[in-house]
Amino acid sequence: MFIVQRERGYLDPPGVSYLAKRLNLRITDIWEVATFYSMIHIEPIGKYHIQVCKTLSCKLLGADKITKYCAEKLGIKVGETTADGRFSLSEVECLGSCGTAPMLQVNFDYRENLTSEKVDQILDSLP
Ligand code: FES
């Protein structure tokens, strides 16, 4: 799924059909897995996927404020992509970095112990 996603930008219906045929599985088997995991995208997504953890440790230490700050800074809501296609914003379940909450993930990189100033630095540093 990652390979198809990397090649096509997201896991689209032709990609799902290809995987089902290649792996000798039903198309519904592929969709079931694809829709379960937040790292698999079934719609086009921005160049930078900002995923803010919303689970307990992060929530207790300010994840809601971080999400709100990201949304305001990017001018989009959770689940949306900026008009220029650069950023998508999501809330996700625990990313296993609870000791450094609140945290978010930009594509595959973890950014931890967040404050609004740190979010500014992170987003402003992306090429
Ligand atoms: S609760 Fe956020 S990383 Fe675990």
For residue 68, what pLDDT is reported? 98
Same domain, 13 and 74: no
DSSP code at position 113: S
CATH number of the structural domain spanning residue 97: 3.40.30.10
The residue range of the domain holding 28 is: 2-36
d(CA 111, CA 52): 10
Residues 6+ apart with CB under 8 A from 114: 62, 66, 102, 103, 104
For residue 39, what pLDDT is reported? 84
For residue 85, what pLDDT is reported? 96
**Amino acid (one-letter) located at 112:** E
Same domain, 68 and 100: yes
Cα Rg, the chain, nearest whole Å: 16
Q: Is the CB of 114 under 6 A from ligand 1?
A: no
For residue 37, what pLDDT is reported? 87
d(CA 108, CA 5): 14
Distance from the alpha carbon of residue 123 to the mean position of ligand 1, in angstroms: 20
**Amino acid (one-letter) located at 53:** C
Same domain, 32 and 61: no
1-to-9, 10, 110 alpha-carbon distances in Å? 11, 9, 22
Domain count, the chain: 2
CB 66 within 8 A of CB 105: no
Question: Tens of pLDDT along the chain (127 residues)?
Answer: 999 998 998 999 999 999 999 999 999 999 999 999 888 999 999 999 999 999 999 999 999 999 999 999 999 999 999 999 999 999 999 999 999 999 999 998 999 999 999 999 999 999 9
For residue 9, what pLDDT is reported? 87
64 part of a folded domain? yes
Dig out the tokens for 11 from the structure. 């896991």
Q: Which atom of ligand 1 is nearest to the CA of 101?
A: 2
Q: Which atom of ligand 1 is nearest to the CA of 57?
A: 1
